[in-house]
Amino acid sequence: MASRQFLSFLFKSVLLGIIVAVLMLFLVPDLRQGGGFAENVFSGAHDSSDRISYQDAVNRAGPAVVNIYSVSIENDVGFYRNRPRERTSLGSGVIMTESGYILTNNHVVQNADSIVVAVQDGQILEAQIVGYDPYTDLAVLKIKGDNLHAIPQTENPDVAVGDMVMAIGNPFDLGQTVTHGIVSRAGRTGLSNFVDFIQTDAVLNQGNSGGALVDSNGVLVGITNANFQVRDGRNGVRNVDGINFAVPYELARRVMDEIVTDGRVTRGQLGFIGREIINRSGVEVTAVAKQSPAAEAGLRRGDIILAIDDTKLESAAKTLDMIAETKPGTQLKLQISRNGELLDMNVTVTELGG
């Protein structure tokens, strides 16, 4: 009797072992392929191909990001002395063309008496300012060097909220440094845009200004500009962690092309501000500047602009962009709705700041 119980127990144990082995073979493919269970499971080793890395993106974009050192001579004015003092500014820049055009922030090179650019391959080059745009805080430099690496670019990077981006620059003169974050606002790209930049939590520190914001493929999506600041009543102005900005690539490239071609950026204006109307096409005029082209043409607060040169208006932002991109001196025809009455109005574009 005891032997029968033993044999029954032994049979059940063997059967259970076979079932467990089959399940293990089914659940752990490495066991079926001779992948080395002890090596892969117990040793904790992993295939490096499973690792997420942006090495290729950094290798494509990194050589085009340069360090910029600008020097200006200032005078310390005192009662008994007037001594010159050297002031050095630190920043970053992006090589946009193999011929040596560089985009950076205007505040990095503003009032500089000399500018030196350090390229990642070791070249130390003198740079000249081609021009600048105070509205976007961008400046274009020109260098002459050998085998300059232009950063990867595409006509429309199509940046979207939630995209992963990397900021490449030279914070605190530590050398090229890469940080990453998420886009929380894509930003507008028209010439009337002065403040609506790309917003990201990629870390920016002193020296990052003018560097590259690239996507996960290493393609340029923006020129890093600044971090968000608030005024503290007791401690003055302080930075806010996790809120940083970059000029969208399309806008930065447009500004650079105009500076290279004409030496400056020209923007048109009519002198009004507008907003969209809910459930209706057109732009409602909310303010008209005195002695502006819009005021001289008779445009009033509360008017609804339905179309410009027979182009129907849907967005106030796009309308201002369209006007900003119109050559000063151009006459435009506005189609207006005023208290239910339709009016046509001719107005001449003037230069912003002109």
Which range has the top average pLDDT, 11-20, 25-34, 235-244, 265-274?
265-274
Write down the pLDDT at residue 194.
Answer: 61
> Is 148's pLDDT higher than 70?
yes
CB 158 within 8 A of CB 183: no
Tokens for 61? 């974009």
CA angle 78–81–82, rounded 5-degree value: 85
Q: How many C-beta atoms surround the C-beta of residue 74 within 10 A? A: 12
Of the listed ranges 10-14, 57-61, 180-184, the one predicted with least confidence:
10-14
Tokens for 304? 């609804």
Is 137 tagged catalytic? yes
**How far is residue 121's CA from residue 125's CA, in Å, rounded to a whole number?**
12
Of the listed ranges 51-55, 239-243, 265-269, 310-314, the one predicted with least confidence:
239-243
> Is 33's pLDDT higher than 70?
no
Question: What are φ and ψ of residue 44, in 5° steps?
Answer: 75, 15
Give the 3-state secondary structure of the chain. CHHHHHHHHHHHHHHHHHHHHHHHHHHCHHHHCCCCHHHHHHCCCCCHHHCCCCHHHHHHHHHHEEEEEEEEEEEEECCCCEEEEEEEEEEEEEECCCCCEEEEEHHHHCCCCEEEEECCCCCEEECEEEEEECCCCEEEEECCCCCCCCCCCCCCCCCCCCCEEEEEECHHHCCCEEEEEEEEECCCCCCCCCCCCEEECCCCCCCCCCCEEEECCCCEEEEEEEEEEEEECCCEEEEEEEEEEEEEHHHHHHHHHHHHHHCCCCCEECCEEEEEECCEEEEEEEEECCCCHHHHHCCCCCCEEEEECCEECCCHHHHHHHHHCCCCCCEEEEEEEECCEEEEEEEECEECCC
> Is 23's pLDDT higher than 50?
yes
Distance from the first to the final alpha carbon of the chain: 111
Write down the pLDDT at residue 13.
Answer: 65
Q: Which amino acid is at 311?
A: T
Write down the pLDDT at residue 172.
Answer: 83
Q: List CB contacts of 259: < 8 A, sequence separation 6 or more.
A: 130, 131, 132, 133, 140, 265
Write down the pLDDT at residue 17.
Answer: 66
Catalytic annotation, pick one of 89, 92, 107, 163? 107
Mean pLDDT of 261-288: 92
CB 319 within 8 A of CB 313: yes
Tokens for 301? 């607060």
Tokens for 288? 């008209």
Is 46 tagged catalytic? no
Buried b (16+ CB within 10 A) or exposed e, 27-53: eeeebeeeeeeeeeeeeeeeeeeeeee
Catalytic annotation, pick one of 137, 163, 215, 321? 137
Q: What is the pLDDT of residues 192-233, one digit of tens each?
A: 766 678 999 998 888 899 999 999 999 999 999 876 554 565
Is 107 tagged catalytic? yes
Catalytic annotation, pick one of 133, 149, 209, 321? 209
Q: What is the pLDDT of residues 224-239, one digit of tens each?
A: 987 655 456 566 555 6
Beta bridge partners of 117: 68, 125
Q: Which amino acid is at 237?
A: V
Tokens for 312? 């129907």
Write down the pLDDT at residue 41.
Answer: 47
Name the band, by pLDDT with cuts 50, 70 and 90, for residue 40: low
> Is 333's pLDDT higher than 70?
yes
- The reported pTM is 0.79
Q: How many C-beta atoms surround the C-beta of residue 176 within 10 A? A: 18
CA angle 338–344–347, rounded 5-degree value: 110
